[in-house]
Amino acid sequence: MGKFLIAGLGNIGSDYSGTRHNIGFDVLDAFAAGKGGRFSLERLAEMVEVKWHGQVFICIKPTTYMNESGRAVKYWMDKEKIALDHILVVLDDLALPLTKLRLRPGGSDAGHNGLRSIQGHLGTSDYPKLRFGIGNNFPKGRQADFVLGKWASGEVPVVEEKIRKSVEIIESFATIGIERTMSQYNNLEFEL
């Protein structure tokens, strides 16, 4: 039986709920709800432990705000004694179009403050990431408004479909491994 730490990135508080930057929280909510799990407030994160197909998932939504996500990830990784390759961080990605999801075993923070914090606390960028493309359809200088903004009504159906696929990816990652999961999902194109 394997144990996995699934960290969805976002910001706590109703102001951030449903924003592009909080998609990591939304994916974890869907994953846990589908397995009968309910989050409770724990140290540095909202946390739920769920079991599925012989695997244990420690799911966290850091309460540290995005820029300090690494504190929560490191704490729960150490507390639960979870190996680096059994961590999966779910986050929004401006560099990917809204039509894409991308799973990788490593990779740079690409300017994402949550990943920069995690890399700083773990001392490496070599941990699995599921990047949820949010596109970059914003005027120059308006990046913060865009990532902290709500989805446009025309985007909602593709976002909901990608959340469902993200849940499948988490399950697949834990059962058949990252390489096979990447080959199965990374080339999917979602219709807008």
pTM: 0.97
* Choice among 8-17, 30-39, 136-145 with the minimum mean pLDDT: 136-145
Residue (of 82, 49, 76) closest to 62 by Cα position = 76
Kindly provide the b/e burial profile for residues 57-78, where b requires at least 16 CB atoms within 10 angstroms of the residue's own CB.
Answer: bbbbbbbbebebbbbbbbbbbe
pLDDT digits over 76-109, tens only?
999 999 999 999 999 999 999 999 999 999 999 9
pLDDT digits over 120-159, tens only?
999 999 999 999 999 998 998 899 999 999 999 999 999 9
Query: 85 near 127, Cβ under 8 Å?
Result: yes
pLDDT at 192: 79
Give the pLDDT band (50/70/90) at residue 174: very high
Active-site residues, by number, are: 21
Count of residues in the chain: 192
151: three-class secondary structure by DSSP: coil
For residues 165 and 82, give the distance between their C-alpha atoms in angstroms, rounded to a whole number.
24
Query: 94 near 154, Cβ under 8 Å?
Result: no
Map out the domains of the chain with their CATH numbers. 3-185 (3.40.50.1470)
For residues 49 and 37, give the distance between their C-alpha atoms in angstroms, rounded to a whole number.
7
